[in-house]
Chains A and B, each alone.
Chain A
Amino acid sequence: MTTLAFVLLIIFASLGCIINHRSAVSIRNSGIRLASITLYHGLFSLFLVLIPILILILLWLVLQDPLLELYLLRSVLDEYLAGSSKGETDLVLAEIRSIAGGTIFGQPEGWKLAAGEQLAALQDLFSKLLVFTVSVLALILILIARYKVRSEFRARQNVERIVTWLMIACSVVAIFTTLGIIASLMLETGRFFSLVPITEFLFGLNWEPQIPMREDQVAAEGAFGWIPVFVGTLVITAVALLLSVPVGLMSAIYLNEFANHRVRSISKPVLEILAGVPTIVYGFFAILVVTPAFRRFGDSVGIDVSPNTALAAGGVMGIMLIPFISSFADDALSAVPKSLRDGSLALGATPSETMLKVLFPAAIPGIVGGILLAVSRAIGETMIVVMAAGLIAKLTLNPLDSVTTVTVQIVTLLIGDTSFDNPKTLAAFALGMMLFIVTLIINIFALRIVQKYREIYD
């Protein structure tokens, strides 16, 4: 039925377009000059039909089921569900929904079957109603558009105004996405802090996100202190940077100053391939190759290496970040004015001295900005650590040990079925909030540095 509504919408919109276009053509053919060319009369009708009805259909689809269920709750189910908690109500609703969808598990009570049938009937009725509304509204809009076709009607100006607003709407999506991120994180985090005190989350040294299954369960109180999780993130980030910063900077220096054209033309694509490999592939690489290699090496020299050592996750993340840092450093070095290099070389400095004492210091702000962006990527990187890092939060700085990260915890807390009413799942949103804040601050700071530095030389 929904598909039918969309198909009808397209048909009606095209129909309106054709009708208006033809009537405009006939006006023109009768010798009267039109204010706008015929095409715009057609487009005017197209937009007039398409946009309002598209909005209507989307709103209808979003609102229909919640409103119908609300109606059922208020009218039919009221007597059966009196006094039951929200969780139980949700469970019953889910069952009724699946009955309405045609899948019946076991032997539900009669009133549930009846409610399910009623819901299915209502859904059917409302989807028919949707198709009907769409058709009627479309016909009205086509008539309005047709009525507008006059020689003096400025169709182009109207169409262009609509298009401008459409484009503004497209741009505003970015704002709404940011708002959506902030709103969803804030709301769920707020609910989390109503269950767990904010001070415990920010300053607690224990992270054991369990919830008691039964009321009287002993020793299952969860602990929600994010410090060990954050420290784990920092350990892995530090390992990643220790690998990627020197390698990335050195390769950038070499490619920028010493490499001939052929080496550059081979090396750049290789670095780009490294940058384009999906992170899940890096994660798989970590558990398939890197971790066993570290374990074997540890065994041979007699050091105890944990099976989820931070060294493996951080090392692989470092490989991922090499092209990132290298390309930022390369850009920063290339942006240094040629006069500085020429001057240094003319004074008798060797190319390496020119690089280390003139170009590199001049490029430092841009390079630092790039490294900061790499830090924020490392903190927010998910798949490598989900696959290669540990799950248990340990407050340690030893990279041979197993540590966990913010992103690992978010993913493990939310994988599987989730309901939004216990601290375990809400904790993921609190962690997401902290992740968002930390990366946002780093990003803004880094972009500032990069931009400011660009302005100096431009």
Chain B
Amino acid sequence: MKTKMDTINLVKRSLPRRNRNQIILKGLGVLAIVFAFLMLIILMSSLITSGYKALTQTHIEFSVYIDPAKIKPERLPRGNFKGVLQDSIFVHHEGELSKSEQKQLAKILSNGAQFELRDSVISDPGLIGQSITLKVPTSDPYDQLNKNLIDRQTEEEFRRLKDNEILWFDSLDQKGLISKPLNWGLILNTDSRFPELAGLRGALIGSFWALLVCFLISFPLGIGAAIYLEEFATKNRFSNFIEVNINNLAAVPSVVFGLLALAVFIGWLGLPRSAPLVGGMTLALMTMPTIIIATRAALKAVPPSIREAALGVGASRQQVVFGHVLPLAMPGILTGTIIGLAQALGETAPLLLIGMNAFITSAPGTPLDTSTALPTQIFIWADSPERGFVSRASAAILVLLTFLITMNALAIFLRNKFERTW
């Protein structure tokens, strides 16, 4: 009797301590979860706060008199387009300007403005001698000023824009020439050395080609391999070896795939550098294990009764698989494939090694043209010293994440809509 009472007392005495330990462990767990949440929030909010500014672009709109004295129809495409622009913009400046001031203040126009003007004059030489209204991006420092990224309180010598430049901008702003429309150039332009003109078109098309090649290779190969291993292969050394290989490939660092592509596809097979074709082939090798694993899981989920029923009415084993099991497993396979492609879209390191980080100002027409891809374009911009490129990189990341979220949402939708439970 006594010992039992002792035990109960012992337990009772120890209970507060034990409950305290329980609370501590729970608290630590909550802390860990909160930490993960916090990190995700900081990550997303920092990207959005730095990226949303690149979603608009400061433009300047003014009327340009195309002076026949400076641009002669017979000398096109040459001509002093820069001078024409300068003359037209300084109409809005009060007071005399020295030569050096002119040179300094003309920099408000993006460097691309003269090429835009040149192109429109070449396409219609009748414009010479007339006035047209031109709406062009301002150069990056003025864009930053308009977005309050340049602090007007900073000492003049530490500021990117001098006092007279800010005054010049403000006077133009008061006349209503400055506007800040949505930055469609971010998606429609190709890459450029000037942040205000740089866009993602080349990268988006490059990524599209690479993903297309990746899909065309990895989808049939992955499904073929998975069907063989799951439905037909007898368990022996050979099939075991293949399986070990696939599992290991899934864990090989991505940069090693880049080395493989560099040595084999470019070095031995002589395929062109920086081409989405090579990028897609490399990504296909990395995506294949994902698709194989997803396909095998989907095949496994189809109940044996389906197979037995089909076999029972006289179908061959391949007829069973291709006619009955595979269609039923398709939603699961597609879900896995989309998730694999989403991973491939964000993959950067192997693309860097095969040279898809070159500076290319034209969008690729075929998978054999040199090109960048979305993640490598982010890498290029993130590495650029100009401030304007940082917000462009954030905006490009937002574009990339939008694609990833859309693809994953599609995968989840497919799974919920078509997946059957037996």
Do A and B pair up? The answer is: yes
**Interfacial residues, chain A to chain B (CB-CB below 8 A):** 62, 65-66, 156, 160, 163-164, 166-175, 177-178, 180-181, 184-185, 187-188, 246-251, 253-255, 258-259, 263, 267, 270-271, 273-274, 276-285, 287-289, 319, 322-323, 326, 348, 350-353, 355-356, 373, 376-377, 379-383, 386-387, 407, 410-411, 414-415, 418, 420, 428-429, 432, 435-436, 439-440, 443-444, 447
Contact status A380-B225, CB under 8 Å: no
Closest residue of chain A to B322 (Cβ to Cβ) is A163
Contact status A267-B253, CB under 8 Å: no
CA–CA, A98 and B155, complex, Å: 53
Contact status A247-B32, CB under 8 Å: yes
**Interfacial residues, chain B to chain A (CB-CB below 8 A):** 11, 18-19, 21-22, 24-26, 28-33, 35-37, 39-40, 42-43, 46-47, 50, 220-225, 227-229, 232-233, 239, 241-242, 245-249, 251-260, 262-264, 267-270, 285, 288-289, 292, 316, 318, 342-343, 345-349, 352-353, 357, 375, 378-379, 382-383, 390, 393-394, 397, 400-401, 404, 408
CA–CA, A246 and B379, complex, Å: 31
Classify the secondary structure of B's interface with A. helix
CA–CA, A258 and B27, complex, Å: 10
Contact status A352-B242, CB under 8 Å: no
Instruction: Kindly provide the distance from the CB of A271 to the nearest chain B CB, expressed in whole angstroms.
Output: 6
The answer to whether residues A287 and B318 also contact, given A171-B229, A188-B263 and a CB cut-off of 8 A, is no
Residue numbers in A under 8 Å from B259 (CB-CB): 181, 184-185, 410, 414, 428-429, 432
From the candidates B33, B39, B345, B348, name the one contacting A254 in the complex (CB within 8 A): B33
CA–CA, A246 and B227, complex, Å: 40
Contact status A352-B21, CB under 8 Å: yes
Instruction: Kindly provide the distance from the CB of A18 to the nearest chain B CB, expressed in whole angstroms.
Output: 21
Instruction: Kindly provide the distance from the CB of B353 to the nearest chain A CB, expressed in whole angstroms.
Output: 5
CA–CA, A382 and B36, complex, Å: 22
CA–CA, A167 and B401, complex, Å: 35
The answer to whether residues A435 and B248 also contact, given A278-B346, A278-B375, A382-B349 and a CB cut-off of 8 A, is no
* 6 shortest interchain CB distances as A-B pairs: A254-B29, A380-B253, A278-B346, A170-B224, A184-B263, A250-B32
Contact status B253-A439, CB under 8 Å: yes
From the candidates B19, B26, B253, B270, name the one contacting A65 in the complex (CB within 8 A): B270
Residue numbers in B under 8 Å from A386 (CB-CB): 349, 352, 379
CA–CA, A386 and B383, complex, Å: 10
Contact status A439-B225, CB under 8 Å: no
The answer to whether residues A281 and B224 also contact, given A187-B263, A273-B40, A288-B46 and a CB cut-off of 8 A, is no
Can you give 21 contacting A-B residue pairs, CB < 8 Å? A170-B221, A171-B242, A177-B245, A181-B260, A184-B259, A188-B263, A254-B26, A259-B33, A270-B37, A278-B348, A278-B400, A279-B349, A282-B43, A285-B43, A289-B42, A319-B36, A352-B25, A376-B251, A382-B255, A432-B255, A447-B247
